[in-house]
A and B are shown apart, each in its own frame.
Chain A
């Protein structure tokens, strides 16, 4: 049971990171981005390309991958999302476009790097035994990186100008515009930061599980559950939601077959939508 708790915490940390970006874009851009998962995959694959194929050390490879992913996200804003904002596209149009983007990115990954499962070229390390539970060094790394990133996000949101602007936009976009904030710049930052976090999440997921083209799609439902549970637009809510969903999924395997883990996220999602649609920390 404790083992499941630890596994849940690890998965939850990854979900938490990934969900922050999803929550921010959901609230500021007002649509559910179904391509979010594929940015996770992009981060993982780019890291794989730089580290396993090009021989760069893992950590700088990850950093490069995160930067490239953030850059691609900003390009998407220029090419797709901004023009649609100018046309006042409704959220349904954007959702359908995001599905197209998801299909495009996922199959670009398959086209370039194949559908088979991959792993980072890292030495296998022995796990640490604490009584009845085993925790691997990778799991510890995941939790540490996730916590550091969450602190960075907290610092960004509370102490920097751009963070305050992001919070303002998330709260009320018209008031933010009226107070002189350059909405387009803030949106670009939101994409960059949100997708950078997603990329980190993907890299971490690849670290403890594996790298495959569907890894992001597979996490999409739990991520949406985390976002809605935490409250759309609240990064802190996304963090809490992510951890809760991760714990729930792993702990559920004590009583349910492991294949139904996603059903747990789905169930929580439904319950939240009916009892408290604005989530734990939503406005």
Chain B
């Protein structure tokens, strides 16, 4: 009986961790479509998380119904992905990496400085959340299954897409652009589509993140968020959606697990935070050096060593 009591005490915390992991899983699925399936090095993925979150929250604050705000957030994120892609997807792959990182930082500067729109560093409070009035008690007990449902739907839709002829073209672009191009496929158009769809998914994750945080400000959208998605994708296995979801959950299990270790180690919270990210950096290096196919990826599908 006592054990059940203790578990119930930890339950809100566990729900919260699973909730955040699910949001990041959705975020990472978007990146997996861009990198894992199409081979696009997007280091600015967080920009679309921010666009989705801010658009949803700001529109809703101005009175736009929540569902429309979310749709607008997703749409705007996708549109920005397309706008970014049009001039840049024709660039060499490493140039794309540099440009996308610059883009994400500029979005963040915009959020910080255009206070008339975004309240700048003060941030915006989320005014309403889905079905909030109907939920008694802890809202997260509703939000988690809700987000999980969204995750499952995204996963199923993506799986259907990547197994379709469209998905196969993406993979062939990842392997060697010249082959689908020589077969008459408009490679550029496919890349744009992947980037737009990946950005839309990130935008959706952004709205959900806003619902969880209840208050967003530019500090929630630092470059490191993009690299959380990267570690989830790379760890799970690039090009494997189940792997990506697994990677996201392992990442958050790691984060929350180390929080418990905090009490036993002689380091300050700042040092623990740094240690966590240091470890993630190291993990990224080690995975790419020794097990680039990640946990669930297939070695044969690897084209990283050319």
Chain A: number of interface residues, binned into ranges: 35 or more
In the bound assembly, the distance between CA atoms of A107 and B277 in angstroms comes to 7
**Chain B residues, Cβ within 8 Å of A80:** 285, 289
Q: How far is the CB of A253 from chain B (nearest CB, A)?
A: 13
Residues B281 and A104 in contact, CB atoms below 8 Å apart: yes
B116-159 toward A: CB 8 Å interface, digit per residue (1/0)? 00000000000000000000000000000000000000000000
One of B94, B275, B284 near A92 (C-beta < 8 A): B94
One of A88, A111, A269, A274 near B98 (C-beta < 8 A): A269
Provide a sorted-by-A list of 22 A–B residue pairs whose CB atoms are within 8 angstroms: A32-B94, A91-B93, A92-B94, A92-B97, A92-B304, A93-B292, A96-B41, A96-B230, A101-B285, A103-B277, A103-B278, A103-B280, A104-B278, A105-B281, A107-B277, A221-B105, A224-B98, A228-B98, A259-B112, A262-B105, A270-B99, A277-B92
A176 at the interface (CB under 8 A from B): no
In the bound assembly, the distance between CA atoms of A91 and B306 in angstroms comes to 9
Closest A residue, CB atoms, query B103: A266
| Chain B, range 258-294, C-beta contacts under 8 Å to A | 267, 270-271, 273-275, 277-278, 280-285, 288-289, 292
A263 at the interface (CB under 8 A from B): yes
A31-B94 CB under 8 A given contacts A93-B292, A103-B280, A114-B270: yes
One of B87, B280, B281, B282 near A270 (C-beta < 8 A): B87
Q: How far is the CB of B98 from chain A (nearest CB, A)?
A: 5
**Chain B residues, Cβ within 8 Å of A83:** 289
Residues A100 and B94 in contact, CB atoms below 8 Å apart: no
Residues A263 and B109 in contact, CB atoms below 8 Å apart: yes
Residues of chain B whose beta carbon lies under 8 Å from any beta carbon of chain A: 39, 41, 43, 87-88, 91-95, 97-99, 101-103, 105-106, 109, 112-113, 223-224, 227, 230, 234, 267, 270-271, 273-275, 277-278, 280-285, 288-289, 292, 303-306
**Chain B residues, Cβ within 8 Å of A106:** 277
**Chain B residues, Cβ within 8 Å of A99:** 43, 227, 230, 281, 284
One of B41, B234, B282, B303 near A95 (C-beta < 8 A): B41
Residues B281 and A93 in contact, CB atoms below 8 Å apart: no
One of A31, A84, A103, A105 near B227 (C-beta < 8 A): A103
Of A95, A100, A111, most buried by chain B (CB within 10 Å of CB) is: A100
Of B41, B94, B105, B292, most buried by chain A (CB within 10 Å of CB) is: B94
In the bound assembly, the distance between CA atoms of A120 and B271 in angstroms comes to 22
Residues B280 and A88 in contact, CB atoms below 8 Å apart: no
**Chain A residues, Cβ within 8 Å of B270:** 110, 114-115
Residues A88 and B289 in contact, CB atoms below 8 Å apart: no
Across chains A and B, which 7 residue pairs bring their CB atoms closest together, nearest first? A103-B281, A100-B284, A104-B281, A110-B274, A107-B278, A100-B285, A266-B102
Residues A87 and B305 in contact, CB atoms below 8 Å apart: yes
| Chain A, range 97-137, C-beta contacts under 8 Å to B | 97, 99-108, 110-111, 114-115
Q: How far is the CB of A37 from chain B (nearest CB, A)?
A: 11
Known A32-B98, A97-B289, A99-B227; further 17 A-B contacts with Cβ < 8 A: A31-B94, A90-B306, A92-B39, A95-B94, A97-B285, A100-B280, A104-B282, A107-B277, A110-B273, A114-B270, A217-B223, A221-B98, A221-B102, A266-B99, A273-B91, A277-B92, A277-B95
Closest A residue, CB atoms, query B282: A104
Residues B230 and A88 in contact, CB atoms below 8 Å apart: no
**Chain B residues, Cβ within 8 Å of A257:** 113
